[in-house]
Amino acid sequence: MTLMNEIRRRLRYAVAPLIGMGAVVYFSYHIVQGDRGLIAWVHLKNEITKAEDTLSEVRAEKTELEKRVSLLRPDSLDPDMLEERARIMLNMGYPDERILPADRL
């Protein structure tokens, strides 16, 4: 019976450190691997960088389109832009021009 008492006595002193170590291991794992852990944070940073790059490309394209549209406004009509749009819309060209059809995929 003394052996059993000795085991119980030592077990009481070991339970608290084991629970503490278990908690440290649990939280350490979730700091790295969890939904809001370090690895998820790195992935989100990469996605944000890609989204910002896409945003800058779209903004540049928008600026270019706004510039082209401003050339077609009645108050600042550009003759070259008007001719280009008329040729595209009417599908016409000059008699001395050669038109090479593009292959469609």
pLDDT score of 40 = 92
Instruction: Give phi and psi for 5, each to the nearest 5.
Output: -65, -40
| DSSP conformational letter for 37 | S
Distances (CA, A) of 6 to 3, 12, 14, 15: 5, 10, 13, 14
pLDDT tens digits for range 80-97? 878 888 888 887 777 887
Q: What is the CA radius of gyration of the chain?
A: 36
Question: What is the pTM for the complete model shown?
Answer: 0.55
Q: What is the mean pLDDT of residues 6-26?
A: 90
pLDDT tens digits for range 54-72? 999 999 999 999 988 887 7
pLDDT tens digits for range 37-54? 999 999 999 999 999 999
Instruction: Give phi and psi for 23, each to the nearest 5.
Output: -65, -40
**CA 28: distance to chain centroid?**
28
* pLDDT of 105 above 80: no
